[in-house]
Amino acid sequence: MVKKIEHIGIAVNSIEDSCKVYETLFQSQFYKEEHVESEGVRTAFIQVGDSKIELLEATNNDSPIAKFLEKGKEGFHHIAFEVDDIDSELKRLQTEGFQLIHVSPKDGADNKRIAFLHPKSTTGMLIELCQEKIG
Ligand code: ZN
């Protein structure tokens, strides 16, 4: 079951430059910065009410974020929904005919297990499902 919007992912050229913008906008500080090696991204999170903003910067040219920025410009990249059981949600969505980028969850930033759904099957939205890791 989907519980809430966990965060909104924004692709940026420079985390340093963008952090300043969002810290001024929200009068708050980014609380976590992380390198997710498997995805070739650096991420930073800032809390906004019950949700978060995740900034994503590419760390190499093969990174999905590098490819995204090559095609367009900085800005909205994905929306992430928190689910109570990511394994059963992925199974359910696969049965419903959704195209999954990750058939089984992988380790993501911010102590989460994550999986992405392909925009082809979500009317154009890149959707991330995530679940807090236990322990
Ligand atoms: Zn995300």
pLDDT tens column, 5-32: 999 999 999 999 999 999 999 999 999 8
pTM attached to this predicted model: 0.93
16 CA to centre of ligand 1 in angstroms: 18
Rounded Cα–Cα distance for residues 110 and 38 (Å)? 14
Residue 82 corresponds to which tokens in the numbers above? 């928190």
Strand, coil or helix: 72: coil
Token pair 């650096």: residue: 42
132 CA to centre of ligand 1 in angstroms: 13
112 CA to centre of ligand 1 in angstroms: 10
Using alpha carbons only, give the angle 107, 98, 44 rounded to the nearest 5 degrees.
30
User: Would you say 11 and 74 are in contact if contact means Cβ atoms under 8 Å apart?
Assistant: yes
83 CA to centre of ligand 1 in angstroms: 13
Task: Tell me the per-residue pLDDT of 39-91, one tens digit each, with 9 for 90 and over.
Answer: 899 999 999 999 999 999 999 999 999 999 999 899 999 999 999 999 999 99
43 CA to centre of ligand 1 in angstroms: 9
Residue 72 corresponds to which tokens in the numbers above? 């367009």
